[in-house]
A and B are shown apart, each in its own frame.
Chain A
Amino acid sequence: MTTSVPDPSQKHQRREHGLMLALVSPALLVILALIVLPVGWLAWQSVYHDGFTLENYRRVFTEDIYWRSFALTFEISFAVTVIALLLGYPVAYLANSVPKGCSILILSLVVLPFWTSVLVRAYAWLALLQRTGVINQFLRYLDVISEPLALVHNTLGTVVATVHILLPFMVLPLYATMQKIPGDLMQAGASLGASPSMTFFRVFLPLSLPGMLAGCTMVFVLCLGFYITPELLGGGRTVMVSMLVSRNVELYNQFGAASAVAVVLLLSVLAIFFIVSRFISLDRVLGQK
């Protein structure tokens, strides 16, 4: 296309490109102004305070309270992911192996909590788990316990409620992957003399790995930044990274430190997405909700 004569189709193409960019620009502008700029601002604020400084990062990596919070957050996220996988896999497997009508019912039950506000569900778990809550009253009524159990305002309560909120993100990609596993493979395994458990572990389970990876990534990443459940159900002792950020802003006015913590958290999330994207397409991870 090095001709100097103006090509009408080229001109048309340029107009077409212009129109498309104009159509996408309002949405893009909102995204740039309200997420790219704010995150960039955080990054800037984390290294600049009357001159460049790495003081905030030094604090994040050396001061006890910071790295302990990061360690706790990764531990909780890991536990939540493992529990969600153990709970979600059977449900997805069942939904995949029953007739269509039943599987729609099962999946609706999985998605139902999805559409209740996280805040409402946190409240429900408070009502269920607290000392005078439904579960403790029920257990005392049955005379199983004499003293109420400490089920909430600790890490346990945080994990129970967080798994509940993130479980759909595990079940849906698992189910989507299982749907694509051809049923005849299992029959082929069986016809070659493999026991049902062997066909499951040697054929089905490996084929469902991409779904497991997608689900685990989503649950782990969402859990890393979770705020409402640890704040309301953690009883002030389970200080996850998100709470570190908010406290540094709201209570201590440590904007630089808050920004550094946020940047480290964001980089962790992006690193996980990057590593996972080497194995499976990110659309698979993000395409769920």
Chain B
Amino acid sequence: MMRVSSARIALYVISALVLVYLILPVLIIAPISFSSARFLTFPPPSFSTRWYQQYFSNPAWMQATRVTLTVALFTVVIATPCGVAAAYAISQSKLRIMRIIHMALLLPLVVPIIITAVGIFFVYARVGLVATMPGLVLANVMLALPYVVISALAGLQSFDAAQEMVARSLGMNRLRSFFAVTLPQIKSSVVAGGIFAFISAMDETIVALFISGGQYQPLTKRMFTALRDEIDPTIAAISTLMTAASFMLVLLASARQRRSS
């Protein structure tokens, strides 16, 4: 009996340490961002919002923020309908090629992102899409598609397709029956997929490093270049804001999912 409990205690201690390791870096950024010190000192000497002021008053950071938000919004608006339509077709159709198409739509998760990034850069260089807004949006749509497809498919799997058949047999056309019967029931999965698409576009860094430039650089690219040079606490302020935004969106998505189930 003694052996059991000591093993159990070891399990608790190790797990607790691992969880601290997981959480600590997420928690450390906010105090740094509110510190008055130029260099990292811990505990912070005094409270200050100077890094936030520096972020909000710097036109380059503001421009990058606008680019990020625009790209993320367009990504959601394009990737969500495309992904939901594809998920609907994959779940309904008995065509054998759909299995292959389903796998193709998950490719962005399989191919190492650095390879995708370099490949897109070469293609964009040929067609003149480097350092443009449409180029950035398109790449992010591609990267976000798997999240929308996976999320919408999960919703469609728990939805009884016979309901839509009933609506159609009662005289509704396919489009109307989809919007009136199917979509309301998978709405939370669709919204969750859209939110994941937004977060994916907001956090995307590596493709942007290669294909964005000039005035169309998203926040992450500017942060990356800034981090390579020196550690500027302004980045802590931006990181804190980005993390807060991500968490709020995830909470929103999971609250929706819970309400539906």
Task: Pick out which of these stretches binds chain A: B13-21, B47-55, B57-65, B159-167.
Answer: B13-21
Inter-subunit contact B107/A119 (CB<8 Å): no
* A204 interface contact, C-beta 8 A: no
* Closest CB in chain A relative to B191 CB, distance in Å: 16
Asked if residues B23 and A113 are in contact (CB atoms below 8 Å), the reply is: yes
**Are the C-beta atoms of B25 and A128 separated by less than 8 Å?**
yes
Interface segment, one of A56-64, A179-187, A242-250: A242-250
Which of B23, B112, B121, B236 is the one whose CB lies under 8 Å from A225? B112
Q: Which residues does chain B contribute within 8 Å of A27, judged by CB atoms?
A: 82-83, 85-86, 105, 145, 149
Assuming the A-B contacts A112-B22, A113-B23, are A227 and B123 also in contact, with contact meaning beta carbons closer than 8 angstroms in the complex?
no
Please determine whether B113 and A225 come into contact, CB atoms closer than 8 angstroms. yes
Distance from A81 Cβ to chain B, minimum over Cβ atoms (Å): 15
Interface size band for A? 35 or more
Residues in A with CB closer than 8 Å to B101 are: 24, 28
Decide: A30 near B82, CB < 8 A? Known: A115-B246, A127-B231, A266-B112.
yes
- Closest Cβ of chain A: how far from B173's Cβ, in Å? 12
Nearest chain A CB to B94's CB is how many angstroms away?
A: 9
CB of B223 within 8 Å of the partner chain: yes
Say which residue of A19, A41, A112 sits within 8 Å of B119 (CB atoms): A41
**Smallest CB–CB gap between B61 and chain A, Å?**
14
Which of A47-55, A131-139, A143-151, A207-215 sits within the interface? A131-139
Across the two chains, which residue of chain A brings its CB closest to B226? A123
Q: Which of A117, A242, A259, A270 has the most CB of B within 10 A?
A: A117
User: What residue in chain B is nearest A37 (Cβ atoms)?
Assistant: B123
Query: Do the beta carbons of A262 and B145 come within 8 Å of each other?
Result: no
Complex contact A167–B22 (CB within 8 A): yes
A-side contacts of B250, CB under 8 Å: 115
- The SS class assigned to the B binding surface is helix
Which chain B residue has the least Cβ–Cβ distance from A222? Answer: B112
Known: A34-B139, A118-B205, A289-B109. A246 touches B86 (CB 8 A): no
Contacts of B210 in A (CB 8 A): 246, 249-250
With contacts A118-B205, A126-B231, A225-B115 taken as known, whether A38 is within 8 angstroms of B109 at the C-beta atoms is no
Q: Does B179 contact A (CB under 8 A)?
A: no
* 0/1 string, A150-193, CB within 8 A of B gives 1: 00000000000000100110000000000000000000000000
Is A42 an interface position by the 8 A CB rule? yes
Separation of A115 and B199 alpha carbons in the complex (Å): 8
A90 touches B18 (CB 8 A): yes
A79 located at the interface, meaning its Cβ lies under 8 Å from any Cβ of chain B in the complex: no
Known: A41-B122, A120-B29. A23 touches B89 (CB 8 A): yes
Which residues on A sit within 8 Å (CB–CB) of B118?
38, 42, 245-246, 249, 258-259, 262
Chain A residue nearest in CB terms to B240: A120
Contacts A42-B115, A127-B32 known; A23 to B19 CB distance under 8 Å? no
Interface residues of B in 160-199 (CB under 8 A from A): 174, 199
State the Cβ distance, A57 to closest chain B Cβ, in Å.
16
Contact partner of B42 (CB less than 8 A), chosen from A26, A118, A137, is: A137
- B199, chain A: closest CB distance, angstroms: 7
CB A115 to nearest CB in B, in angstroms, measures 5
Cross-chain contact A90 with B14 (CB below 8 angstroms)? yes
- A residues bordering B, Cβ < 8 Å? 16-17, 19-21, 23-24, 26-28, 30-39, 41-42, 45, 87-88, 90-91, 93-94, 106, 109-110, 112-113, 115-128, 130, 132-134, 137-138, 164, 167-168, 195-197, 221-222, 224-225, 227-228, 231-232, 242, 245-246, 249-250, 255, 258-259, 262, 265-266, 269-270, 273, 286-287, 289
A16-B93, A119-B203 known; 11 other A-B pairs, CB under 8 Å? A23-B88, A31-B107, A35-B111, A38-B118, A115-B243, A116-B243, A127-B28, A130-B40, A164-B21, A225-B113, A232-B227
List 23 interface pairs A-B (beta carbons < 8 Å), by A numbering.
A23-B88, A27-B149, A30-B142, A31-B107, A33-B142, A34-B123, A41-B123, A90-B11, A90-B18, A109-B19, A112-B23, A119-B205, A124-B26, A126-B231, A127-B231, A128-B25, A168-B22, A197-B3, A227-B114, A231-B228, A255-B122, A265-B114, A269-B110
